[in-house]
């Protein structure tokens, strides 16, 4: 049986082992998933495999910036306690630095991890075994400009370059570095607060736009308005939709008045140099991960019930209770 990329990905998610280890395990076991997991266990990866079923939705977002390039990564763990661990934080920071030149998440996983003789995926497996929690290098994104600046911002920072909401803003320009830093920070804070779906209207997902338009068309039909008025209603509401989800169309949360596109234009006029907002990236820790929900009240009740069942009777109980028997 041929070992496909999809099989390798599935085994990585189930075992927490490195990409190359997963590929070798599947090759050795002719693509049998369960046998591949057992193979990984026999090679000293039992801890990672044992922990792999647990939800890792905490952790850290980390960024690294080097001149005109920047990268964001999300490294997940099971608990916030581990996110405050110095070893975990150093690992996240190193991954962000490596991501500057990685290209994509698979390439990052295959990169050599400094000072270990292991690659990133193997080092992740090692961390799972030593720290004792399931972890996941979930995603990365990099932005860059030819000239100008990539400006970073971390909301709810845990340490320098580490936190829960990380943002990168790419500004193409020859303007003064101080001007770009101030402008970029202002836009980055706005992005952290509003979570835009795209930079421009053209960048929006075509299917998402079509779904929104279909909903608005049905709403306009239901209103009973004439066709001409209904069409104008749809266009007006689509414009409002763009203002809600497209960064350049949004109103800045800083002053509550100026469109982001105009914020950039005004900064360019003030500096006397063209400035273009070319890209952004935003990671919110745990975004989209389905977390296990526990009924705390039920859990406590179960524990109390267990305690009552297994509590030894007191001497008084042994002599007989004075309470009347229930009917």
Average pLDDT value over all residues in the chain? 84
Q: Hey, what domains does the chain have and what are their CATH numbers?
A: 5-51 (1.10.8.10), 58-204+246-284 (3.30.479.20)
pLDDT 10s digits, 271-298: 999 999 999 999 999 887 766 554 545 5
Beta strands 69-77; 162-163: pairing state: unpaired
pLDDT 10s digits, 9-53: 888 777 766 777 788 888 988 888 888 877 776 665 544 445 544
- pLDDT, position 251: 96
Enter the pTM of the model: 0.71
Q: Which residue has tokens 């949004």?
A: 250
Q: On the CB side of 43, how many CA atoms lie within 13 Å of its CA?
A: 19
DSSP-assigned states of every residue in 65-134: EETTEEEEEEEEES-HHHHT-HHHHHHHHHHHHHHTTT-SHHHHHHSBPTTTSSBHHHHHHHHHHHH-S-
Tell me which range, 7-21, 45-59, 308-322, is most confidently predicted by mean pLDDT.
7-21
- pLDDT, position 296: 47
**Integer CA distances (angstroms), 71 to 45, 107, 142, 156, in order:** 30, 14, 4, 18
pLDDT 10s digits, 62-120: 999 998 999 999 999 988 888 899 999 999 999 999 999 999 999 999 999 999 999 99
What band does 139 get if pLDDT is binned at 50, 70 and 90?
very high
């Amino acid at each position: 049986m041929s070992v496909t990329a999809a099989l390798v990905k599935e085994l990585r998610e189930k075992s927490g082992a490195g990409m190359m280890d997963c590929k070798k395990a599947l090759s050795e076991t002719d693509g049998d998933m369960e046998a591949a997991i057992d193979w990984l266990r026999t090679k000293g990866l039992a801890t990672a495999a044992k922990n792999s079923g647990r939800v890792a939705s905490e952790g850290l977002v980390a960024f690294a910036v080097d001149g005109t390039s920047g990268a964001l990564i999300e490294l997940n763990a099971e608990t916030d306690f581990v996110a405050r661990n110095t070893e975990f934080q150093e690992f996240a920071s190193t991954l962000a630095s490596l991501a500057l030149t990685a290209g994509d998440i698979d390439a990052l996983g295959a990169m050599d991890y400094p000072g270990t003789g292991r690659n990133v995926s193997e080092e992740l497996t090692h961390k799972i075994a030593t720290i004792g929690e399931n972890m996941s290098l979930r995603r990365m994104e990099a932005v860059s400009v030819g000239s100008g600046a990539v400006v970073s911002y971390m909301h709810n920072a845990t340490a320098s370059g580490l936190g829960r909401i990380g943002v990168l803003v790419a500004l193409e320009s020859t303007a003064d570095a101080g001007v770009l830093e101030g402008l970029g920070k202002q836009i980055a804070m706005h992005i952290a607060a509003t979570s835009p779906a795209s930079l421009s209207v053209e960048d929006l997902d075509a299917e998402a736009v079509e779904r929104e338009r279909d909903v608005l068309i049905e709403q306009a039909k239901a209103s009973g308005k004439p066709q001409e008025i209904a069409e104008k209603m749809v266009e007006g509401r689509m414009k409002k939709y763009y203002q809600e989800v497209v960064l350049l169309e949004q109103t800045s949360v800083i002053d509550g008045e100026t469109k982001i596109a105009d914020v950039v234009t005004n900064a360019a006029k003030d500096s006397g140099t063209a400035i273009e907002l070319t890209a952004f990236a935003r990671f919110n820790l745990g975004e989209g991960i389905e977390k296990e929900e526990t009924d705390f009240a039920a859990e406590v009740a179960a524990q109390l019930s267990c305690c009552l069942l297994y509590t030894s009777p007191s001497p008084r109980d042994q002599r007989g209770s004075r309470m009347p028997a229930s009917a």
